[in-house]
Structure 1
Amino acid sequence: MENPPIFQALAERWREAGRLVPGDHDPDWARLTGEPPVFDPWRRHPRPQG
């Protein structure tokens, strides 16, 4: 499904201004979600029940 011409024009203006456009690849998001979570030894974890 192709986007309407008004969205295409707006998306092009956003890209020219250096803004992120919905549906485009975001390298910062990919980097942040691609890394494993950081282990924090001082964080309190619930004790297992049993």
Structure 2
Amino acid sequence: HQLRGHGLAAELMKRAMDDARAEGVQVLPVCSYAVAFLRGTDAYDDVVAG
């Protein structure tokens, strides 16, 4: 795939988490990518539910 390896999924996660923080909502990650992404950083601990 042409889009693989460009960091688009990580950028999407960052923007989604920033939006969630701005809106004051909690996120419950369920897809494997989101879970792995959020395990790799503590930057969004305040936004992750649970």
Tell me the TM-score normalised to structure 1 length. 0.36
Between Structure 1 and Structure 2, which shows a larger proportion of helix residues?
Answer: 2
